[in-house]
Amino acid sequence: MRKSLLLTTCCFLVALCASAQIPALERVEPMFWWTGMHNPDLQLIVHGKDISARKVELSYPGVKLVAVHKVENPNYLFVDLRIFSSAVPGTFPIKFTKAGEKALTYQYELKKRNQSPDRAQGVTNKDLIYLIMPDRFSNGDPNNDSIPGMREQGINRAKMFSRHGGDLQGIMNHLDYLKDLGVTAIWLTPAVENDEPSASYHGYAVTDHYKVDPRYGSNELYKKFVDKCHAMGMKVVMDLVHNHAGTEGYTIQDMPMKSWVHQWPKYTKSNFRDAAVMDPHASPADRKQMLDGWFDHRMADLNENNPYLQRFRTQNHILWVEYAGVDGFRLDTYPYNDPVYMSQWAQDVRAEFPHLSIFGETLVWSAANQAFFTEGNTVNRGLDTHLPGVTDGVWKEAVYDALNAKEGWTEGVNRLYSVMAQDFLYKDPTRNVIFLDNHDMSRILSVVGEDITKFKSAFAMLMTMRGVPQMYYGDEILMKNFSNPDGLVREDFPGGWPGDKDNKFVASGRTDKENDAFNYIRTLANYRKNTTALQTGKLMQYIPEQGVYVYFRYDKQNTVMVVYNSREKEQTIATERYNERINGAQKAKNVVTGDTLDLAQLTIPAKAALVLELIPANAH
């Protein structure tokens, strides 16, 4: 791997030299826009060889050329437009003229906004999110496995860091499978172009923010994917990377200005210590390295204080929502971003799409650390981030303790109780995304030592706790492994490729154990989808006794009682202690088995969880 570009001012000049072969008008972004947007102002980024030597001309009713900005790099112009409410959809030429030379023309289109109610509808605690790495799920179009001109060619499924050929069409081919499982929302790791020489299959080294990676499909196919999901009653979450970008992208190879990325005298990695952002006693140097240090040699740290970069990124995200109709954003590496910009970004995006959901990745180690990044200034931060929710890694770690750790005053199952008791820190904890694993961490089956009872208990809690549950592709068929390295937890879904020995998308291709796990998750997921108490109902929990943790989800329609035995032996408990929530009910239905149980006392196998729907005392 070659050394990173752009580490010093001198390297910036090298990047300019590298731009000698670009066309006179290489691109205009956003490549189109819409009338009737909340914000009438639009800034175009224009890239082309010595484009700044040209004058910008346009004429279209309702559109005003406000300003043209020249920057350090002569290959850029930033063009400010104002699109008045009187503007109508249509196409008009933007001309770039220079005395003695032929004018360059870009045909700019203003589109009509799509007002369909199933677009940008938000992903909420009524949903179950299914996380997919597109390259590793299913290959629906072998013709796009290798794209001429891209830096990484071909596929090699035997190598974990190579591309394997999964794509959007492959996901679309299996939407029936996901709907049957009970999934209501699909989160894809970034599907936009990652044209790096190697190991960028994960999607987090973006080289073109406006283009779906052609090995996955096209922009048009991505829009069809979203439309098909909506038609089947499922939503789509788009994964965004604010903090960094792949070094092979045009804005990095030929930067508009030195301040486009964070520059250091020598390569400096982030210290990855989120506490430096919130610590009132923190060293400014530590805080700067946390926020401005690079993620990797191939991931340039973007300078979100740069106003041109801010407009570039915000408009890009607005375009994807309006163009494709995605329902929510997951924000990668949220703590590493500039907090003031991210607060304004959230307000700008939600001004255009009030129902769009947003949650940030915050893999931190306490509830207070998580709450620091959420909306409402609830922990005296002095800044409202306007971030509705986070990925609740603290909840995940507490579940791990409840499943695996020895019981203590604050350990084992009591840690889970304590974490839930700290929900007062959040403006709205139900907007947090709860999860057991993902593409960056060990799979839940391996975390619990391949103990199926513990595995089922984990999913019982995932499907019944407050928040928005998210599961990782393949967990339902007992995919396993520890993330050492990450590629081990990013294996191909069996049956997603022509010629696969086994097809786990169908029951006949799964083993008895796999079908048992699949059916367990499917039963709980579909029950949750049809039970408002588990979606928007209240939560009441009880201090664990004798290692047994009990909580209720309830509303006017239903009461669901969850009982988890964290000890290594079967236990029988009396239920009088919970009478205030049992409310006179004498029997309950086991949601998984369908059996009717007497509520006077309950027997819970070791490490098992019961999910019980109470049968009201007056029910016949």
Whole-number mean pLDDT of the chain?
95
User: Does any domain span residue 263?
Assistant: no
Structure tokens at 49: 């060889």
- In eight-state DSSP terms, residue 391 is B
Stated pTM of the model: 0.96
User: Does any domain span residue 369?
Assistant: yes
Nearest to 160 by CA among 470, 489, 585, 381: 489
Nearest to 242 by CA among 314, 155, 175: 314
User: Does any domain span residue 140?
Assistant: yes
My answer on whether 372 and 479 are in the same domain is: yes
My answer on whether 397 and 409 are in the same domain is: yes
How confident is the model over 295-313, as a mean pLDDT? 97
Nearest to 362 by CA among 299, 435, 303: 435
My answer on whether 529 and 545 are in the same domain is: no
Could you tell me the CA-to-CA distances from 148 to 23, 154, 203, 393, 582 in Å, in that order?
Answer: 19, 10, 19, 40, 64
My answer on whether 226 and 138 are in the same domain is: yes
| End position of a domain, from candidates 76, 111, 146 | 111
User: Does any domain span residue 509?
Assistant: yes
Domain CATH for 358? 3.20.20.80
User: Does any domain span residue 283?
Assistant: no
From 352, 361, 423, 476, active-site residue: 361
Instruction: Give tens-digit pLDDT for 210-250.
Output: 999 999 999 999 999 999 999 999 999 999 999 999 999 99
Burial of 197 (0-12, 13-18, 19+ CB in 10 A): middle
Q: Residue 518: helix, strand or coil by DSSP?
A: helix
Instruction: Give tens-digit pLDDT for 432-456.
Output: 999 999 999 999 999 999 999 999 9
| End position of a domain, from candidates 534, 565, 584 | 534
Give the list of residues 6+ apart from residue 13 with CB closer than 8 angstroms, or none. none
From 141, 322, 327, 332, active-site residue: 332
20 has pLDDT over 80: no
How confident is the model over 411-416, as a mean pLDDT? 98
Q: Residue 361 catalytic?
A: yes
What is the H or E stretch that residue 33 is in? Answer: strand 32-34
My answer on whether 487 and 341 are in the same domain is: yes
My answer on whether 102 and 192 are in the same domain is: no
5 has pLDDT over 60: no
Helices H / strands E in the chain, number of each: 17, 28
How confident is the model over 304-309, as a mean pLDDT? 98
Instruction: Give tens-digit pLDDT for 140-196.
Output: 999 999 999 999 999 999 999 999 999 999 999 999 999 999 999 999 999 999 999
Q: Residue 213 catalytic?
A: no
Domain CATH for 584? 2.60.40.1180
| End position of a domain, from candidates 62, 83, 111 | 111
Instruction: Give tens-digit pLDDT for 513-523.
Output: 999 999 999 99
Instruction: Give tens-digit pLDDT for 203-215.
Output: 999 999 999 999 9
Containing domain of residue 62, as a range? Answer: 9-111
Total count of domains within the chain: 3
